[in-house]
Structure 1
């Protein structure tokens, strides 16, 4: 009769990429676990020499703390995913399935993140009802960014007053530990220059983090350079002031980009997190780096909507902190950032996968203002460390 295995026999768990939450990642990597306690981390060869009797097992591609979904829309979690070009996806998915958007979808999304053991979330909250529901979730951590829209400058004051009253009301009710309020001025072209400035200064003064969708689709730089193009003609014109210049408070001109506009408006000085940032110029990247803004890329969503490829190596070379998000289920396909990491490995075959893993963990935690758990000696081993 074979004796049962000693539960305290060391186990050497090896992987292709190890990120402990500290410093840089390493490849390959390993973790020695004794019982439920982490005894050591490092290179597999070093660990084999230090623990020659350890039972070795290759557990997967990555060992790391759970990734942070640094940008998503939980209230769209009941949508059916469809990969369509951007200008088809908006009416055929977002509008066509709008009855599925709301509290029920947000609860499904929050349940999914809890099941995935997510390291945190940066969620864009579209309605007060959704915010009320998510603020009751003690199992969420991260930032809930309330979304602001308002392209008419003359309405900026009343829009801002309503926003401030809502934010102050939610803060007064108290938030679960680890959950914070933030604000999302939706985009530089759906929020007037006046409202953008009011919101930015308020957020800065109150210590509220911000996210802004910027340069997602190739039509956005064209809009700022010309005041027209497909984004204006096919999506915005019926709902906006007479001219784009009224929204941004200046004339469009060649060389004006969404990033340059935000920079010259003073918004980047307040270090909002910038989402997507696909269709940018070298000057845009330099401006973001100088301001110290972080960016969040959503690789699957950008691919599915045919928006382009985030220039990761250029941002990394400039020293910009990069995090990862799924965007909505409707565009990304799931809420699992691990899926975006896996997709990014095919999208960026020459980028070191250690960079991707670190972005999903450390970059995400920096964006939402939290800290990753450390995989180190003396800490408890958790099964969710294996991706």
Structure 2
């Protein structure tokens, strides 16, 4: 990444961008990086760099210069699905169920290959098919967490489901490699995992140091369910032969002031600091609870828009001190596995939000959620073309 003058001497290049995030601090806008002989010589404000390196050849590199982003939440096993933007309650039967034959190990491997090709900095993948877990853990080109997804709304089956899950997890953990993917747990949602199973899973994870992701407050119907015990979401669950009443699932009666977040908090789940995914339909009290507990949140802007779930209240979560990361969700709802697409979409969705916040979330937020060290762009480090988004 250096230029040559007629005398054959290599001159440094000054690469400029709209947003620079070095992995440290909050980012810079505009920003620049001086590269000399394939090594980072300096980073910072372009004007300062021009004065310090007057002989550097300048060119605009791209909109963003930063370490590779992390896809903090996705479903790789659905990577063979066709994308369709539909309202939430149509998308589930017309996409998830209708294309279920495409779901599984082959999709997982294809999605993992895509992430590797994109140079993704890390991943938080929800593993639905048990046979996909060993295949993921064997890969040497991915880092992050593979969260095994667990469902089970019937309280009487909680102990057996937990026993089977624990047996699987303990076997998979023996396949972990230093620097590779770690095994985690994903109790699917507060309404598809019964109260006893939710506590068993999250207490076990906290005791074993297992990372956890839970889908929470994705669609408005979820908040309606916890308030009333009824609504379109419960109607859909009943068609899948769920318990006779929602109170059996959550172990208490719904209430006008009960939300999925408050339920998890009072159940003791938030004490383990799980990562909460989506968190679109929340109250100020919900955000305050999450902030006090220290739980990070992953938002998937394109999926939320495509399924008509609403808009994640980013500024309010930031004000509550919550760490935010970005994910794509599945190809079927998010359209691609490239988190840079989420950043570009979010810049349009949140025109008043500082774009440095979005880039930081995709990099540092994602690395923190997946337990990975954040790479840094600093003097003396080798330059990598993947740093240009």
TM bin (shorter chain) = over 0.9
Distance 1:176 1:135, change over 3 A: farther
C-alpha separation in 2, matches of 1:253 and 1:49: 63
Map of 2:317 onto structure 1: 315
Change (3 A) 1:331 1:127: same
Mapped partners of 1:3, 1:254: distance in 2: 72
Structure 1 segment 1-387 matched on structure 2, within 5 A: 6=8, 8-175=10-177, 177-387=179-389
SS of 1:41's equivalent in the other structure is strand
Where structure 1 has 5 or more consecutive residues not aligned to the other structure, the ranges are none
What is the aligned-residue RMSD (CA, Å)? 1.2
Q: How far is the alpha carbon of 1:44 from its aligned partner?
A: 0.1
- Distance in 1 of aligned mates of 2:263 and 2:176: 36
Distance change (3 Å), C-alpha of 1:158 and 1:7:
farther
Residues in 2 aligned to 1:353 and 1:378: alpha-carbon distance in whole angstroms: 27
The range that moved more, 237-246 or 194-203, is: 237-246
1:25-74 residue CA offsets vs partner (Å, 9 max, x unmatched): 01000000001100000000000000000000001100000000000000
SS of the residue 2:120 aligns to: coil
> What is the CA-CA distance between 1:178 and the residue it aligns to?
3.1
8 Å contact kept, 2:38–2:382: yes
What's the CA shift for 1:3? 6.6
In the superposition, the TM-score normalised over structure 2's length comes to 0.98
Greater displacement, 223-232 / 172-181: 172-181
Q: Offset at 1:236?
A: 4.1
1:176 Cα deviation after fit: 5.2
Q: Return the alpha-carbon distance in structure 2 between the equivalents of residues 241 and 39 of structure 1.
A: 63
- Rounded Cα–Cα distance in structure 2 between residues aligned with 1:119 and 1:5: 39
Structure 1 residue ranges (4+ consecutive) displaced by more than 4 angstroms after TM superposition: 2-7
- What residue ranges of structure 2 are gaps of 5+ in the alignment? none
Which 10-residue stretch deviates more, 375-384 or 164-173?
Answer: 164-173
8 Å contact 2:300–2:327 — kept in the other structure? Answer: yes
Distance in 2, matches of 1:181 and 1:68, equals 17
Report the Cα distance in structure 1 between the residues aligned to 2:60 and 2:175, rounded to whole angstroms: 47
- CA distances 1:223-262 after superposition (whole Å, capped 9, x unpaired): 0000000101134443211100000000001010000000
Displacement after TM superposition at 1:177 (Å): 2.1
Please tell me whether the aligned partners of residues 137 and 182 of structure 2 are also in contact (alpha carbons under 8 angstroms).
no
C-alpha contact 1:136 1:176 (8 A) present in aligned 2: no
**Partner SS for 1:302:** helix
Please list the CA deviations of residues 138-162 of structure 1 after superposition, one character each: whole Å capped at 9, or x if unmatched. Answer: 1110000000110000000000000
